[in-house]
Chains A and B, each alone.
Chain A
Amino acid sequence: MSAETLLHTPLFTLHEEAGGKMVPFAGYAMPLNYADGIMAEHRHVREHAGLFDVSHMGQVRLRGRSGDGEAAAHALERLVPADIVALKTGRQRYTQFTNEKGGILDDLMVARMGDSLLLVINAACKDADIAHLQDELADCLVEVLEDRALLALQGPEAEDALAALAPAVRDMKFMDVRDVDVDGALCTISRSGYTGEDGFEISLPAMDASRVARKLLEQPAVKLIGLGARDSLRLEAGMCLYGSDIDETTTPVEAALEWSIQKSRRRGGAREGGFPGADVILAQLEEGVSRRRVGVLPEGRAPVRGGAPLYADVEFATPLGKVTSGAFGPTVEAPVAMAYVATEYAAPQTPIVAELRGRAVPATVHVLPFVPARFKR
């Protein structure tokens, strides 16, 4: 896609002023990194607080045609395996849109806000997800929130930085969602993120985004962070990147995401199944799967990247699967990767071998996350 046709988020001018290295991402011009570089930005988030522009992601409000949130929750359960009906107002949860084979069409966050649900979906899947919602949920109103931006403020000093503008956020716990006034902007804030750190995701009117971002950047702890560090942070945190670690060919159980399927939707549950691919996924929950998503820690310093084949042996005789995401982990100070491996090899500490430029690199299956989560439960 040529530069002229790339979309801009409301923070585009701020990125350019801050020296952002702008790259095409899902149709948008987005900052890969700023002057400090990916390593320093990554460490800044783990030690202080980082501000990310994630306005390219899709924000959708879902309402029942009768105008109540309960109806929308029941309707959305036809498309996702999570319990949405039991999700209380002011709470958020992670789930996936599944297909008839149990594969994943996208992963998303769902918040219950009284009379509606708020969905945050991946930028690259936006159009398909919206069409899917409109086609399948004729009993709902699907409102795409085009005029809202999305910021993420992440890191151990995120609470102090945001509380300086909006003290009420101190009372929020992990996965709480609230409408909060920040510098006169009506924001919907969730205590969540994609780094493994404590932090917040802030949905706000596009017209207020640049002003609120600049206010946050006035706090000494806060720096702008690009997509490069966002990727290395989420990888160390063991979180999936749609299109790499999960896609239409991987099920939530293969992807080790069964924690996101509550009992009420499993066999014997109050609202068992009823989502696309439920037969496949519910059977896998009971009978297991032949491959699993795991962490992989290669020996040495050479990063093992997505696509690298994995084997049981240095002769490459027994293939086990392949790497889906890999990078150098700035906090781990070593290469880290995620991969699908045959289930017999999925236990932590299992020795395996990665193929890198034709050579055998010894590696170990590692429990995810690589860096302990520091959510405020």
Chain B
Amino acid sequence: MTLYFTKEHEWLRVEGETAIVGITKHAAEELGELVFVEARDAGTVVQAGESIAVVESVKAASDIYAPVDGEVLDNNPQLSDDPARVSSDPEGEGWIVKFRLSNPDQLESLMDADAYAAFIA
């Protein structure tokens, strides 16, 4: 299992060809308490940079972008009733989608935890 981060403030927990994707603690703090989360349906094939979910605070909607090419396998079923879970535990219970990587080589362009910490510092 390896953890990656993106400049768009997402994290990916990769195991083999699948990854769990969410937003970082830093992003969650910037967005404030979330009131609505909507992820693309399982089976949706996306390229890096396409929207895989929308998260909404009281004030604004923000897209979550696919960090790499792949296919949405599953959404976090808890978030429809309790979107604030993303705010309270963004890097744990507040995960957003499960994702199949179609081109794992793309992971090399992402950051590790130390690089991300430096990025937001």
List A residues at the B interface (Cβ < 8 Å). 32-33, 37-40, 42, 228-229, 231-232, 301-303, 305, 327-328, 330, 335, 357
Q: Are B56 and A357 in contact (CB under 8 A)?
A: no
Q: Are A302 and B59 in contact (CB under 8 A)?
A: no
Interface string of B9-44 (1 = CB under 8 A from A): 000000000000000000000001101101000000
Q: Are A302 and B33 in contact (CB under 8 A)?
A: no
The yes or no answer to B54 lying at the interface (CB within 8 A) is yes
User: Least Cβ distance of B84 to chain A in Å?
Assistant: 8
Q: Are B56 and A302 in contact (CB under 8 A)?
A: yes
Q: Are A38 and B38 in contact (CB under 8 A)?
A: no
The yes or no answer to B83 lying at the interface (CB within 8 A) is yes
User: Least Cβ distance of B66 to chain A in Å?
Assistant: 16
Instruction: Kindly report which residue of chain B lies nearest to residue A334, judged by CB atoms.
Output: B35
Q: Are B58 and A39 in contact (CB under 8 A)?
A: yes
What total of A-B pairs shows CB separation below 8 Å?
47
Q: Are B38 and A302 in contact (CB under 8 A)?
A: yes
Partner of B59, one of A301, A327, A335: A327
The yes or no answer to B76 lying at the interface (CB within 8 A) is no
Question: Which residues on A sit within 8 Å (CB–CB) of B59?
Answer: 32, 38, 228, 231-232, 327
Q: Are B56 and A42 in contact (CB under 8 A)?
A: no
The yes or no answer to B102 lying at the interface (CB within 8 A) is no
Instruction: Kindly report which residue of chain B lies nearest to residue A231, judged by CB atoms.
Output: B59
Q: Are B36 and A37 in contact (CB under 8 A)?
A: no
Question: Which residues on A sit within 8 Å (CB–CB) of B58?
Answer: 38-39, 42, 228-229, 232, 303, 327-328, 330
Q: Are B56 and A328 in contact (CB under 8 A)?
A: yes
User: Least Cβ distance of B54 to chain A in Å?
Assistant: 7
Q: A38-B58, A232-B58 are in contact. Are A328 and B36 (CB under 8 A)?
A: yes
User: Least Cβ distance of B56 to chain A in Å?
Assistant: 5
Question: Which residues on A sit within 8 Å (CB–CB) of B117?
Answer: none
Q: Are A305 and B61 in contact (CB under 8 A)?
A: yes
